[in-house]
Structure 1
Amino acid sequence: MANLPPSHYPDIGHLGEDLVVQWLQSTGWIILHRRFSSRWGEIDIIAQYDGKAGEAEEEGENFSRAKRPATANRTQDSMLAFVEVKTRSWGSWDAGGRSAITLQKQAKIWRTAGIFLAQCPEKADYSCRFDVAIVYCQKISKNLTGVTATHEALATSSAAGYKFKLQEYILAAFDSSIDNG
Structure 2
Amino acid sequence: MTNRPPSHYPDIGHLGEDLVAQWLQSTGWVILHRRFSSRWGEIDIIAQYNKGAEEQRLPPLNTQHSTLAFVEVKTRSSGNWDAGGRSAVTAQKQAKLWRTAEMFLAQYPDKADYPCRFDVAIVYCQRISKNLIGVTVTQEFLATASIAGYKFKLQEYIPAAFDSLIDNG
Same fold (TM over 0.5): yes
Aligned length: 159
**1:128-167 maps to which residues of 2 (within 5 A)?**
128-141=116-129, 152-167=140-155
Question: Structure 2: which amino acid aligns with 1:75?
Answer: T
In 2: Cα distance, 1:77 partner to 1:131 partner = 19
Question: Structure 2: which amino acid aligns with 1:82?
Answer: F
In 1: Cα distance, 2:8 partner to 2:118 partner = 33
In 2: Cα distance, 1:159 partner to 1:119 partner = 34
How much has 1:108 moved relative to structure 2?
A: 0.4
**1:1-181 maps to which residues of 2 (within 5 A)?**
1-52=1-52, 73-141=61-129, 152-178=140-166
How much has 1:180 moved relative to structure 2?
A: 8.1
How much has 1:137 moved relative to structure 2?
A: 0.5
How much has 1:88 moved relative to structure 2?
A: 0.3
After TM superposition, where is structure 1 displaced by more than 3 Å over at least 4 residues in a row? Answer: 177-181
Q: Which runs of 5+ in 2 are unaligned?
A: 131-138
Larger Rg computed on CA atoms = 1
In 2: Cα distance, 1:28 partner to 1:109 partner = 23
* Cα RMSD for the two superposed structures: 2.1
Question: Structure 2: which amino acid aligns with 1:176?
Answer: S
Contact kept in structure 1, 2:40 and 2:99, CA below 8 Å: yes
- 1:47-95 CA deviation, whole Å, 9 max, x = no partner? 000111785x9xxxxxxxxxxxx86x43111000000000001231100
In 2: Cα distance, 1:97 partner to 1:77 partner = 31
Contact kept in structure 2, 1:84 and 1:133, CA below 8 Å: yes
TM-score by length of 2: 0.87
In 2: Cα distance, 1:53 partner to 1:16 partner = 28
Greater share of residues in helix: 1
- Other structure's SS at 2:62 match: helix
- Other structure's SS at 1:117 match: helix
Contact kept in structure 1, 2:28 and 2:54, CA below 8 Å: no
- Other structure's SS at 1:44 match: strand
Q: Which runs of 5+ in 1 are unaligned?
A: 58-69, 143-150
